[in-house]
Amino acid sequence: MRRSIIFGFQSPFIPACVSCFNNNNMSVPVQDSTPLLGVSQPISVAHPDAKDLALTEQLIETLKEFKSYEPKEETDKRLEVLRALNRLVKEWVKNVTAIKIPSGDGANAGGKLFTFGSYRLGVHSSGADIDTLAVVPRHIDRSDFFTSFKEMLNQDPNVTELHAVEEAFVPVMKLKYSGVELDILFARLALREVPDNQELSDDQLLRNLDPESIRSLNGCRVAEQLLKLVPRQKEFCTALRAIKVWAKNHGIYSNSMGFFGGISWAILIARACQLYPNASPSKLVHRMFFIFSTWTWPHPVLLKELNQDRNDIPTLCELIWDPRHKNTDRFHLMPIITPAFPEQNSTHNVTRSTHQIIKDEIWEALEICRDIHDGRAKWSALFEEVNFFSRYKHFIALIMAAPNEEEELSYGGFLESRIRLLVQSLERNPDIILAHNDPNKHKPSKNAKFDVSPENKRITVWFIGLEFAEHAKNLDLTNEIQRFKTNVELQASSVKGIGPTCQVEIDMFYVKRNNLIQVISAADLSRGRRWKKSSLIPPPKQNGNSSNRPTVARTASTSSVPTTPTSLVAPSTPLSAASTVVTNEPDSTTNSLTPVSRKRIIQEVTSTTTEVVYVSTDIPPEKKIRDDTLDEPIVEMIVEVTNEVVQQREVVQEITALQNGNDCLNSSSGLEASEQKMEVPQSV
């Protein structure tokens, strides 16, 4: 039975009555000092028993095996790096102050480096980066940060891989200092001085700040609030370590790619801590999966009541997540609200596909946790990495070729933040059930060949796995891919640090699973266990065609105001006539000044007779997931991309290995050995 969440304020320290026994075996109520936090009463205040403590010990040992805890030497090195950077920030502020205020009135301007994210919460793993924030007084501008401070870092011999992402939603400088990876944000306070004892918890500090500074300060303020809103910090941190390892190894840990980021997973664990305030870390992990496997999305996850009536700071109230007054907030699929003012949704990048993937992974994790609790599995079964390429049979590969390391870093971060937009475009195709983007980037195999300039030798590959609807026959991805490529190139030309003279090339092509061995290495293909669909995962909702309007859920938290569609109905547009496109277009021959349209036609045949099956122009039937274990119908996939290089594409035909009765597995890659013999389509 699902528990209703009451959106009312709960006093942080309400003593709960529990029963104990006196010498006469009489039940006597006593006061328990359990801190009760959150927007509702806890589900259970029971303390851990011997079995819970034993499972927690096993959990911690397993986390150490997965390198969730860093050695003391690495911890000491991080502290040295932070001290050195803090000195650099103070020195930089002093130098800029001497130029802008030559009278000497700003001699004590100060400046301070704050930490947030996993490092501030105490859950960082070995080799993880450190999120930092440089806070400066009012006479220091953001332009100074990306010019003079960047130049100071460039002159430091300990700094490597320095690049700035000035046009990001939250502008950041990325670097490695003595081998430790760091992200440095910038925030300017409306103060004359920033002393060493400066705190950021006061909401009044947000007055008269630019939006970028408010967003940058939000990371530190949220981390501080999180630690105050959990009953027991030690248990919270251990459970959060486990969730981070699980999410990363299952490929659902990336805010920019449409999944949950570190702060979102931290809020989910914090909510579990509020509902089970005395639970052990092993119980908290289990209960988090239980709570959010049955959570009625898009109901928001809140750690405290939203504070929307701030008359003292009325302008900042407009930044608060509020689906009652903001149309954009109504379409957030899995809202997880940050606890610091102004409260915002940390999961606005979630797409329809990533929404379903996250729910499926939580269901599978719940099943594994039940097996662990019953003694049928170990904690390593929960944290074991899952092979992304074993999930799907069809992929879109996105490649980026750069001439040097600097352009690779700057353009790569920009491109990675745009991949979710391609996923959203693919989701609108009525023939695609799921578009799953892999958060990990890959390096190509040594024998891989791509249609890029010879000077662009630094190549990075991303993959999107596709799951087709049962009725899919012809699949034309021309518009989606061409639109994405054009938009990325136009946006990149106006981004600082990239510009119109950038030599980076991007390209996309379709590839089957049996051809992946010629694109990336066998080590990448075989890494992790093969994915197996859980028996407990409920089937995805089928999108009917009875109505073109998405259904809208209403939540009690917003006074019955629509918050977001629970399911998006695929647009009822006919599939493009693929055969017409192929037969009417001339070959790819034109002059060097005109972009050339190039095509790839991929036909899957199930018999010796080549026959193309066409789809009628009627409204497509109800979506059903294709069963890839059965004989597939003939599928014709057309991918068209505009490029200035003239090259005619060949027709690639594949005969499934199952027809030949070859079921053996390749020991190096984990894929079928017969799949290794197929030709790989080159770049489009």
| Burial of 369 (C-beta count, 10 Å sphere; 0-12/13-18/19+) | buried
Q: Which residues of 548-584 are buried (b: 16+ CB within 10 A; e: fewer)?
A: eeeeeeebebbeeebbbbebbbbeeeebbebeebeee
352 with 568: CB under 8 angstroms? Answer: yes
253 appears as a binding residue in the annotation: yes
| Burial of 139 (C-beta count, 10 Å sphere; 0-12/13-18/19+) | middle
**pLDDT at res. 543:** 43
**pLDDT at res. 318:** 86
Residues of the chain short of pLDDT 50, as ranges, are 1-30, 542-623, 628-637, 639-684
- Give SS3 for 298: coil
Q: How many CB atoms lie within 10 A of CB 608?
A: 6
107 with 96: CB under 8 angstroms? Answer: no
Identity (one letter) of the amino acid at 332? H
183 appears as a binding residue in the annotation: yes
**pLDDT at res. 662:** 38
- The CATH number of the structural domain formed by 387-530 is 3.30.70.590
d(Cα 451, Cα 681) in Å, to the nearest integer? 11
d(Cα 638, Cα 653) in Å, to the nearest integer? 13
Q: In whole angstroms, what separates CA 170 from the centre of its chain? A: 16
The helix-helix angle for 478-493 and 419-427 (nearest 10°) equals 150
Residue-wise DSSP of 552-597:
EEEEGGGTSEEEEEEE-PPP--PPP-HHHHHHHSPPS---TTS-EE
247 with 253: CB under 8 angstroms? Answer: yes
Residues carrying an active site annotation? 118, 129, 131, 183, 244, 253
The structure tokens listed for 517 are: 């061995």
116 appears as a binding residue in the annotation: yes
d(Cα 314, Cα 493) in Å, to the nearest integer? 37
3-state secondary structure string, 357-416?
A: HHHHHHHHHHHHHHHHHCCCCCCHHHHCCECHHHCCCEEEEEEEEECCHHHHHHHHHHHH
pTM of the entire predicted model = 0.77
208 with 189: CB under 8 angstroms? Answer: no
d(Cα 563, Cα 558) in Å, to the nearest integer? 8
118 appears as a binding residue in the annotation: yes
d(Cα 340, Cα 315) in Å, to the nearest integer? 16
CATH of 72-225, one of 3.30.1220.10, 3.30.460.10, 2.40.128.20, 3.30.1490.20: 3.30.460.10
Going by the DSSP 8-state scheme, the letter that residue 6 receives in this structure is P
627 appears as a binding residue in the annotation: no
- Per-residue pLDDT tens digits for 237-254: 999 999 999 999 999 999
d(Cα 86, Cα 569) in Å, to the nearest integer? 52
d(Cα 578, Cα 575) in Å, to the nearest integer? 8
535 appears as a binding residue in the annotation: no
344 with 222: CB under 8 angstroms? Answer: no
45 with 277: CB under 8 angstroms? Answer: yes
Domain residue spans of the chain: 72-225, 232-382, 387-530
**pLDDT at res. 544:** 40
280 appears as a binding residue in the annotation: no
Place of tokens 């037969």: 583
Per the DSSP assignment, residues forming a β-bridge with 345 are 337
- The CATH number of the structural domain formed by 232-382 is 1.10.1410.10
